[in-house]
Amino acid sequence: MSFVPSARTPPFVPGLRVGLFGGSFNPPHDGHREASLLALRRLQLHCIWWLVSPANPLKDARELAPLAKRVEAARRVSQHPRIKITAIETAIGATYTYQTISYLKRRCPGVHFVWLMGADNFRYFDRWQRWREIAKLVPIAVIDRPGFTLTAPHGRAAEALAPYRRDETDGARLAMAAPPVFVFLHGPRSPKSSTALRAIRTRWHRRHQGKEINRLGRVDHFP
């Protein structure tokens, strides 16, 4: 296995309230940062760990930029002292979110984790491996995304978890709540997506022989 920067757990102490924001970050963009800042503020978290995954079982691995490049790009885009970048899943050999969370809860006793996910992912949360067990491991904060404000709460997983939904005004207490429990955070909705950015990157590669342009706000590209 080649060396990947940050393939370790960020510093922690018991009592820390940490948001876990997982994804391929392919590429990372301001939408990831904006969602993180919203969660920091509304959930009163001490910090957020961006878990840059080596691969996503639900996505085409052929579209992934090298992990080391995505880690470095995430560090540049985040630009916040309370957002920590880690590729811990590579170090522990985790393929699925359940494995990652289970490991972190064992590795970091006394830390209060909250799983952060976009409403687009929550809409299809039932496709994740052991999603019910994930909901029993940690509180979940769902962050609104354009086009999913109304549909996300009506997915199969959302309907199963509906009895455990709390009003977003209780967000400050979410990290200390016993799972299963989740909140739906409304706020400024970023239209940016890694999928759209990759499509733009591909078009410009074809037209300009590898020259790339920043079209959707600050974003890191990969050669």
Annotated domain spans of the chain? 17-208
- pLDDT, one tens digit per residue, over 124-168 is 999 999 999 999 999 999 999 999 999 999 999 999 999 999 999
Amino acid of residue 140: I
- pLDDT, one tens digit per residue, over 177-212 is 999 999 999 987 556 554 544 343 444 344 545 444
For residue 5, what are the contacts with CB-CB under 8 A and spacing of at least 6?
Answer: 68, 71, 72, 87
Which pLDDT does position 7 carry in this prediction? 79
Maximum distance among all alpha carbons in the chain? 53
Structure tokens at 160: 């199963």
Question: Under CATH, to which class is 17-208 assigned?
Answer: alpha beta
Helix ranges, the chain (H):
30-42, 67-78, 88-92, 97-107, 119-123, 131-137, 156-161, 194-208
| Bridge pairing between strands 112-118 and 83-86 | unpaired
| Nearest one of 140, 75, 72, 137 to 100, comparing CA atoms | 137
